[in-house]
Each structure stands twice: as C-alpha cells, then as structure tokens.
Amino acid sequence: MKYISKTVWLLSLVSLFTDMASEMLYPIMPMYLQSIGFSILLIGILEGIAEAMAGLSKGYFGKLSDHTGKRVPFVQVGYTLSALSKPMMALFIYPLWIFFARTIDRLGKGIRTGARDAILSDEATPSTKGKIFGFHRSMDTLGAVLGPSLALWYLYCYPNAYQSLFYIAFIPGCIAILATFLLKDKNRKVAPVKKRIPFFSFLSYWKTSPAHYKKLMVGLLAFTLFNSSDIFLLLKAKQSGISDSMVIFLYIFYNLVYALASYPLGIIADKIGLKKMFVSGLLIFALVYFCMGLSNNFYVIGGIFLLYGIYAAATEGISKAWISNITAKKDTATAIGTYAGFQSICTMIASSVAGFTWYQFGANVTFYITGGATVLITLYFIFLVPHLEPVD
C-alpha cells in the first residue's frame, strides 16, 4: 500500500461513492425499465446510446484536459452530472426523458474519465501502473457491492419500490461531489490553447499514434463489439427463474469478487506482464458466455458470476494501465479518451445487436456468438499484439 498516494485515495473514494450510487440502480434497471414499458430491444438501444455518449465525450474531454493542463475541473463536473442524473430517472417515465437522464449520467462519466485516469497515471510509475489502477478499480467496485446491497435490503422492506431508490442514490452521489473539492491540480507546462477544439478532434490522435497503440486498439475494439451490457447477463439470470432479489444478490457477489481481485491481480500483472493478465481475462470471459448459454442452474450461474468478477478484475484496470504505459505522459488522457471514443461506437453496436439477436433468436444464441468471437480475439492478442516496454 506504500504506492497509494493521498490523491489516489481521494479519487478512489470519490469513485466508491459514485459507484455506490450508480450500482444501487444498475441491477434493478432492467426490471424498472420493463415495469415502465421498455422491451428488451429498447433496453439494448438505450444502453448502446448511453454508452456511445460516454465514450465519444471521453475522447473530446480527454483531449481538452491534455490541452488545458487541467484535470480536477473535469473530474468535478463529471461526477456532478452523474449524481444529478439519479433523481432525474424517477421524475418521469416517458421514454425520451429516460433516454435524456441516462445520457446525462453517461456524459458525466465521459467528462471525468480521461482526466481522472491521467491523474492516476501521473501518480504511478511504469512498474506500478497495475497496482495503482487495480487499487482504484477495487475501491470503485467496492461501491458496486455496497450500492446493490443497500438496494437489496430496501427492496426486501419495500418490494417493487424502484423509484424511491433513484432518490436515495442521490445521497452518496453528493458525498462524491464534495470529496472532489479536496483534489488539487499539479502544475503542468502546456502550450496555451489558442483555438476552439472541435468535438471530434481527438480522432486525429489515431493518425499520429504509434503502430503498437493501433494494434492494441484493434484488439480492444474488436472485443468491445461483442461485449454487450452486463444487463443482458442479469436478464438471463432472471429468465432462468431466479427472483429479483437473487438477481441483485448475484450482481453484488460478482462485484465483491471484482473488488477483492482487482488489486491483487494488478500486483500480479506488474510482475508477469499486462498482456498475459489481459489475455487470461479474455479466456475467462469466453468461458463465462459459453456456460451462460448452456445452463439455467442457480449454482452454475453463481459460479459464472464468480468467474465474471475475476474476468473484470483482470481486464478493466489492466487495459487502461496498458494504454498509459505505451503512450507519452502528455497524451495520456487523449490516448485513453480516443480509445473510449471508438469503444463507444462499438459498445452501441454490441448492445443493440445483442438486444436484436436475443429478440430474434433467443438468449443462448447471443451468448454462444459472444463466446466464440472472444476466443478468436484472444488469438489475435496472443499472436499479433506485442508486449512492449513502457514509454516515458
């Protein structure tokens, strides 16, 4: 823990409270949306559009953060928007309003992510990136344990009272906002911004980025094309005959595994290499999706969610650490943001296609296709993406 600075602790606590608010709602979101008339297909489109907004804004605001030399203001505004979106979801149930509120939430994520990850990268050395990003991911995901746990208790006391949870979720969101004001920007020498930065200007980084960055991006984005929203895993568990409360419990269990495994796996990744850890995570992901398509047994599904937590711990923070290690420090937010911008388009396609495939051919076909595609993508990472030394 000697590598964990005050700034990393603060960012991690901010993420914990924000994720507590968001994940309090995430496992009940599919049930809530279905209760107000959303179909599976419409849920897929909603998640796709929301993630597209998050990703595209990550690219723009990541580049803007690099150009201005500012990090903290982006973090503050981003977390504020996400907190405000929670009560908005409960005010009205009209589809367009739900789309708007969900988009505000994801826009907040887009504004803060590049700047936040750049701060984390600045607080680490190339040999401790896995540890720093892993610790942050552990704390972030701890919020995803506490939030659904509170939701599970609340729904046990007040069954089907979904809307009230959206107002309750505003409380930890406010705590996160207050904590961001304890952060301070480091003095960074940057050229003054003399002209307005276009929204899609971050795409120019793709043209000038090194070849190894592009190879890594191709693999990450190909995986994203088949990695649809976690909501589909929750819906499959629900379809298997599991009660709403047990679906939320499974989600809590998954996040607990994710939180407990992220920091240790980050430490291991620094020792064995980020590539090896990421590839291991992909193989676990493929196994999860094949098994999810084969079984409706509660205990098997419980084991699947355990593996899914290990997969997430082995890939989410690791991928950002990998990107930050192979790009120049002055371009960290832009590099991560550019990836997120392209990723958003792939995520929108993935969730929309998953919703359509499920609607037309059933859940099992959706999971088999994802599992098979992931195996092929894993081979790409093994044979075509090199393990490279960190860039200063």
pLDDT in tens, 191-201: 555 567 776 66
Q: How much is the pLDDT for 374?
A: 94
- What residue ranges define each of the domains in the chain, with the CATH number in brackets? 6-184+203-384 (1.20.1250.20)
- What are residue 334's phi and psi, to 5 degrees? -65, -45
Q: How much is the pLDDT for 314?
A: 93
Instruction: Among 122-131, 202-211, 276-285, name the most confident range.
Output: 276-285
**C-beta separation of 58 from 344 below 8 A:** yes
Average pLDDT over residues 44-49: 71
Residue 381 pLDDT > 90, yes or no? yes
Q: For residues 264 and 241, give the distance between their C-alpha atoms in angstroms, rounded to a whole number.
A: 34
- Phi-psi bin for 272: left (phi > 0), alpha (psi -120 to 50), beta? alpha
Q: How much is the pLDDT for 75?
A: 92
Average pLDDT over residues 169-190: 84
Residue the block writes with tokens 């979904």: 162
332: tokens are 């960290």
Q: What is the DSSP string of 285-327?
A: HHHHHHHHHH---HHHHHHHHHHHHHHHHHHHHHHHHHHHHSS
